[in-house]
Amino acid sequence: MSRFMNERYRDLHEYVPGEQPKERRYIKLNTNENPYPPSDAVIRAVREFDAGSLKLYPDPDASVLLKKIAETYGVNPENVIASNGSDDVLSMIFAAFGGNGAAFPDITYGFYTVFASLYDVKYTEIPLRSDYTISPDDYMNVGKLIVIANPNAPTGIALTTDEIERIVRSNPDSVVVIDEAYVDFGAQSAVPLTKKYDNLCVVMTFSKSRSLAGARLGFAVGNEALIRDLYKIKYSTNPYSVNSLTQAIGAAALDSREYYAKNCKKIGKTRDIFADKLRSLGFYVTPSLANFVFARHGTIGGKYLYRSLRQKGILVRRFDTPRIEEFLRITVGTEDDMETLYEALAGIISEAKGERT
Ligand SMILES: *Cc1c(COP(=O)(O)O)cnc(C)c1O
């Protein structure tokens, strides 16, 4: 660290993204990317994009895209704000609504603690139950910004909208954020509840279910006043955060609902088959509704499995976090990817029976 770094940030622990390896080809199941390409409409939108228009700034409100998002989700454009990936809008949310502190599960998306620290938001981590589920009872009358990934990461376990509604209803004086990065793979969206509750904010991304992680596009849906607050932060940091090519791509993606729904369904099916195969190998697997599984072997340690897979050219994610250090988070890839991974795991396990490294 240079001597110029603001003291405020000296102890900040930044987010550590999953690896994007360049040195060799891996079967990459570590960052929850979608194994299938973006839709034909998206690919066409890229080809037909007028590169000459890049000399101009993009529409800061992304109006065409907002209109489409609003139509898709049955809300008004005033209820939506677009962002440079959903991390960007989550950042704005912590800045805007973290004034009275924040609360989120102890095991969840790693960025929440980073944003809280960055904006000096005091946070409480609410422990998951022993079966790694979120207990809605723990979120009654919290009186702080509540952030819940639904399905949760890295467990993949989802709350129902009834459970979410209970949480939202019992915290009328603070914002409840539902991060729906993985909702399209099988959980229920809380977007309809945003019409009923002015303290609910739903965050979504094009990175996972719409195969657009590289385009950087996310958005939030909520009550108009709440969205205006987020615009205030956006216009105080980076009004042009969503570039014009990404705006065009995002609009095209929303025209391909059937294609993406089909992919999500397929990924859900691959996930469930793979989870059962893991169980047959002696893994405990959480009931995931996301595009990843979260699994711990009965006898063989997580670090050993992670390293052995890496040597075989398969990348998965492991977190050095108390309670979950023996788990692997495995993105659901193509059927072939998962078959290769299954064979590799079966081999590692039969060779290393009983080992804990
Ligand atoms: C992937 C992910 C995000 C962020 O995705 P972006 O690529 O920034 O849109 C947000 N929340 C959770 C829980 C995620 O897993």
3-state SS assignment for residue 310:
helix
Residues 6 or more apart whose CB falls under 8 angstroms from that of 351 comprise: none
Distance from residue 109's CA to the centre of ligand 1 (Å): 8
CB of 181 sitting under 6 A from ligand 1: yes
Question: Which residue among 205, 211, 212, 217 has the greatest number of ligand 1 atoms within 8 angstroms of its CB, and so is best to mutate?
Answer: 205
Residue 93 identity (one-letter amino acid) = I
**pLDDT at position 89:** 98
- pLDDT digit string, tens, across residues 114-172: 999 999 999 999 999 999 999 999 999 999 999 999 999 999 999 999 999 999 999 99
pLDDT tier at 19 (50, 70, 90 boundaries)? confident
- pLDDT digit string, tens, across residues 322-333: 999 999 999 999
Instruction: Return the closest-CA partner of residue 89 out of 234, 245, 226, 189.
Output: 234
pLDDT tier at 28 (50, 70, 90 boundaries)? very high
CB of 291 sitting under 6 A from ligand 1: no
User: Does the structure show a pLDDT above 90 at 18?
Assistant: no
More confident residue, 118 or 22: 118
For ligand 1, atom 12, name the residue with the nearest CA.
181
Stretch 333-357: mean pLDDT, rounded?
88
Stretch 9-31: mean pLDDT, rounded?
89
Distance from residue 4's CA to the centre of ligand 1 (Å): 31
**pLDDT at position 352:** 82
For ligand 1, atom 14, name the residue with the nearest CA.
181
CA distance 306 to 212: 26
User: Does the structure show a pLDDT above 60 at 278?
Assistant: yes
CB of 132 sitting under 6 A from ligand 1: no
CA distance 7 to 3: 9
CB of 35 sitting under 6 A from ligand 1: no
CB of 207 sitting under 6 A from ligand 1: yes
CB of 179 sitting under 6 A from ligand 1: yes
Stretch 79-106: mean pLDDT, rounded?
98
**pLDDT at position 313:** 95
- pLDDT digit string, tens, across residues 243-263: 999 999 999 999 999 999 999
**pLDDT at position 337:** 97
CB of 30 sitting under 6 A from ligand 1: no
CB of 86 sitting under 6 A from ligand 1: yes
Distance from residue 181's CA to the centre of ligand 1 (Å): 6
**pLDDT at position 218:** 98
CA distance 281 to 288: 18
CB of 149 sitting under 6 A from ligand 1: yes
What are φ and ψ of residue 312, in 5° steps?
-90, 10
For ligand 1, atom 15, name the residue with the nearest CA.
181
Distance of CA 332 to CAs 275, 317, 342, Å?
10, 12, 12
CB of 213 sitting under 6 A from ligand 1: yes
Hey, what are 274's tokens? 């793979």
Residue 121 identity (one-letter amino acid) = V
- pLDDT digit string, tens, across residues 34-88: 999 999 999 999 999 999 999 999 999 999 999 999 999 999 999 999 999 999 9
More confident residue, 275 or 356: 275
| Contact assessment for residue 99 and residue 118, using Cβ atoms and an 8 Å cutoff | no
User: Does the structure show a pLDDT above 70 at 197?
Assistant: yes
**pLDDT at position 302:** 97
pLDDT tier at 353 (50, 70, 90 boundaries)? confident
CB of 108 sitting under 6 A from ligand 1: no
> Which ligand 1 atom sits closest to the C-alpha of 152?
13
